Amino acid sequence: MEVRDQDVLFWELAHHLVVGNEFRAAHVSKDRKQLWLEKETDNEQIIISLSKIDMAWSRGLENYIQENARQFQSFKRSFTRKDVVYHNLYITSLAPVDDWKKKTGEIIYTDAAKRRPMHTWLFAAAIGAHKSDDIVRFLGLLGAEANWPSKEEMLIEDEDLRAQKMTRQRQAVIKKIEDEQEEAIKVFTYGKPRFTIALLASILIIFALIEMTASTTDVLALIDFGAKYNPAIDEGEWWRIITSMFLHIGLLHLLMNSMALFFLGMAVERIFGTSRFIWIYLIAGIVGSTASYAFTDQVSAGASGAIFGCFGALVYFGVIRRRLFFRTIGKSVIVILVINIIFGTVVPMVDNGAHMGGLVGGFLAAATVGMPGHKFKIRQTSIVVAIAALIAGLYGYGYYGESMGGASQPLVEIQLSQEFLEEDEYDEAYQTMAEVIDDTDMPEAYFMIGTAELGRENYEEAEGYFLEAIEENPDFHEASYNLALVYAEMGEEEQAYEYAERAAELDPENEQYEELLENLSE
């Protein structure tokens, strides 16, 4: 086998950096003429391209340099505040005969802002033309000059021994790459996504069952099936914190959460394994639902808290296996997470309490079980205690927080009352509003309970509530119209006409108001 000096120097340098100085061999080209190496120190991240080239003249060197600058630009780097240093190394049999130093000495930047220069080095490997001093100077910049062999030590006279040494070095470097690739494969294929598939199936089945008997957009139906409804939880129905994780409000909500669970759940279950994933998912969902109970009055349902727990578990994975995380899924996870947090902050109907609670819960739950293969540590027990304290604290805040505040906004009760009224269930509508009417000054609340009393034919009580609504909001034309109906039922036609006229003035396009005026004027 013919062994060129160029091959000897290439693999000697690669072996010296990878095996002797803890550089990571990130990639090797199919023809094994280019290696990508990287290493992080306390102050900087070093990325090296090591290539074999052959040229008699330097005019083609510029093209090689520009191409490598583009490759550096696309090279995946982890999110880091450290300085990134690029070194572009060429190993050639003979140095070009013309002035190549001018080209390698030119500063080429890998970014438009010109913050990341690429340093180019060319080392000639032929006997008599070997630039050992240059290599030592380069290694000195990396702090890796120790144990670098002399030219005589590299170029063993016996060609067979030289070939055997080079082969061992090449195999050691390639094995490093293969070991890291195999390790990554093992990490991302540790578990099989059985529980994720079971979750998706159960969520779809429950959604179909609700749609067969009612509607997943019907608040009353959602409450009946176990949605998170704060007044019911206040009365001891704590199980809603769990059951709400399996319900969804409408087809779009179902599809969005199912897609997120499909991708995130499968990733987390493959990385952590099924038993760990079940723990992470349930704890994240419980913390998320409890946070929703603490900070959101709306009826809520969905797997969003548990799904954000998957984000939390992946963030924990990134903390423990930072290099592998950012080399693979890290950037995508962080970008998608940030987008979801911003979306939850700016869109008012999104239950951001559940999202943030699930995110924290998922991270803590992952920390309690750790990564597969990691030994259990005592501090993990303290995290379980912290999770329990977090859930208890959120539950306590949700239970006692409202009583410590001022006037509330019973939006859920108003919505429920509206649905009862649409079904002519006036007693249920009244009971719903009666539980909250003393703690609010919302005109809509007075309107709803007044409308319920109108349906129950309690006209005097209805009159009082409608007057309260109009006092809080003089432009509330619906309240004026209903008050006109109350006075008409009470036989007070003059007052009925006054408020019917007021309603028509506030909403002149409403034909119903005009019709009432005409009836009262006859």
DSSP character string of 39-84? EE-SSEEEEEEEEEE--SSGGGHHHHHHHHHHHHHHS-----SSEE
What is the structure's pLDDT at 267?
Answer: 95
What is the structure's pLDDT at 515?
Answer: 86
What is the structure's pLDDT at 232?
Answer: 86
Rg of the chain over Cα atoms, rounded to whole angstroms, equals 36
Q: Which of 77-86, 123-132, 450-459 tops mean pLDDT?
A: 450-459
Strand partners, 37: 25, 48
End-to-end CA distance of the chain: 115
Q: Give mean pLDDT, residues 460-473.
A: 90
Instruction: Find the Cα–Cα–Cα–Cα dihedral 461, 466, 468, 474, rounded to 10°.
Output: -170
Q: Give mean pLDDT, residues 424-431.
A: 89
Q: What structural domains does the chain harbor?
A: 5-188 (3.40.91), 194-404 (1.20.1540.10), 411-521 (1.25.40.10)
Categorise residue 48: left if φ over 0, alpha if ψ from -120 to 50, beta otherwise: beta
Instruction: Compute CA distances 304 → 54, 267, 284, 497, whole Å.
Output: 57, 16, 10, 51
Q: Give mean pLDDT, residues 219-246.
A: 89
Residue 464 tokens read as 């009082």
What is the structure's pLDDT at 112?
Answer: 63
Q: Give mean pLDDT, residues 320-341.
A: 86
Instruction: Compute CA distances 64 → 58, 67, 121, 134, 394, whole Å.
Output: 10, 5, 12, 20, 60
pLDDT confidence tier of residue 258, bands split at 50, 70 and 90: very high
Instruction: Please report how many Cα atoms fall inside a 13 Å half-sphere around the Cα of residue 391, on the Cβ side.
Output: 21
What is the structure's pLDDT at 123?
Answer: 86
Sign of CA dihedral 307, 308, 309, 314: positive
Cα 360 to Cα 19: distance, rounded to the nearest angstrom: 39
Instruction: Compute CA distances 486 → 51, 431, 492, 516, whole Å.
Output: 90, 20, 9, 12
What is the structure's pLDDT at 369?
Answer: 93
- Give yes or no for residue 81 having a pLDDT over 60: no
Rounded to 10 deg, the angle between the 250-260 and 304-320 helix axes is: 20
What is the structure's pLDDT at 403?
Answer: 47
- Give yes or no for residue 2 having a pLDDT over 80: no
Out of 289, 292, 300, 304, the active site residue is 304
Q: Give mean pLDDT, residues 206-224.
A: 89
Out of 87, 130, 253, 355, the active site residue is 355
Cα 78 to Cα 333: distance, rounded to the nearest angstrom: 13
7 versus 80: which is more confidently predicted? Answer: 7
What is the structure's pLDDT at 50?
Answer: 93
38 versus 61: which is more confidently predicted? Answer: 38
Q: Are 67 and 48 in contact (CB under 8 A)?
A: no
- Give yes or no for residue 387 having a pLDDT over 90: yes
The single residue listed with the structure tokens 């259990």 is 376
Decide: helix, strand or coil at residue 24: strand
DSSP character string of 206-248? HHHHHHHHS-TT-HHHHHHHT-B-HHHHHTT-TTHHHHGGG--
State the CB neighbour count (10 A cutoff) for residue 105: 9
Strand partners, 84: 45
What is the structure's pLDDT at 234?
Answer: 87
- Give yes or no for residue 40 having a pLDDT over 60: yes
What is the structure's pLDDT at 188?
Answer: 92
Residue 187's closest CA among 376, 319, 371? Answer: 371
Q: Can 304 be counted among the known catalytic residues?
A: yes
What is the structure's pLDDT at 129?
Answer: 43
Q: Give mean pLDDT, residues 273-286.
A: 96
Instruction: Compute CA distances 360 → 268, 354, 365, whole Å.
Output: 15, 10, 9
What is the structure's pLDDT at 133?
Answer: 53
Residues 6+ apart with CB under 8 A from 417: 429, 432, 433, 448, 449, 452
The single residue listed with the structure tokens 């290493």 is 39
- Give yes or no for residue 353 having a pLDDT over 90: no
Q: Can 355 be counted among the known catalytic residues?
A: yes
Chain segment 147-168, per-residue pLDDT in tens: 888 877 787 878 888 889 888 9
Q: Give mean pLDDT, residues 378-397.
A: 91
How confident is the prediction for the chain on average, in pLDDT? 85
385 versus 418: which is more confidently predicted? Answer: 385
Residue 459 tokens read as 């006209």
101 versus 232: which is more confidently predicted? Answer: 232
Residues 6+ apart with CB under 8 A from 218: 419
Q: Give mean pLDDT, residues 61-74.
A: 79
Helix (H) or strand (E) holding 337: helix 330-346
- Give yes or no for residue 270 having a pLDDT over 90: yes
What is the structure's pLDDT at 500?
Answer: 86
- Give yes or no for residue 261 having a pLDDT over 60: yes
- Give yes or no for residue 44 having a pLDDT over 90: no
- Give yes or no for residue 79 having a pLDDT over 70: no
What is the structure's pLDDT at 349?
Answer: 66
pLDDT confidence tier of residue 131, bands split at 50, 70 and 90: very low
- Give yes or no for residue 331 having a pLDDT over 60: yes
Residue 363 tokens read as 């991270």
Q: What is the pTM of this model?
A: 0.74
What is the structure's pLDDT at 132?
Answer: 43
Cα 232 to Cα 222: distance, rounded to the nearest angstrom: 13
Strand partners, 108: 118
Sign of CA dihedral 517, 520, 521, 522: positive
pLDDT confidence tier of residue 226, bands split at 50, 70 and 90: very high
Q: What percent of the chain has pLDDT over 70?
A: 92
Cα 283 to Cα 296: distance, rounded to the nearest angstrom: 19
Q: Looking at 87-96, 130-139, 363-372, 373-382, which range is the least confident one?
A: 130-139
Task: Spell out a b/e string for 461-482, using b for 16 or more CB atoms within 10 Å of the CB, else e.
Answer: bbbbbbbbbbebbeebbbbbbb
Q: Give mean pLDDT, residues 106-134.
A: 68
Q: Looking at 78-92, 216-230, 346-360, 486-500, which range is the least confident one?
A: 78-92
Q: Give mean pLDDT, residues 76-97.
A: 74
DSSP character string of 394-421? HHHHHHHHHHHSSS---HHHHHHHHHHH
Helix-then-strand count for the chain, H and E: 25, 6
Task: Spell out a b/e string for 42-56, using b for 16 or more CB atoms within 10 Å of the CB, else e.
Answer: eeebbbbbbbbeebe
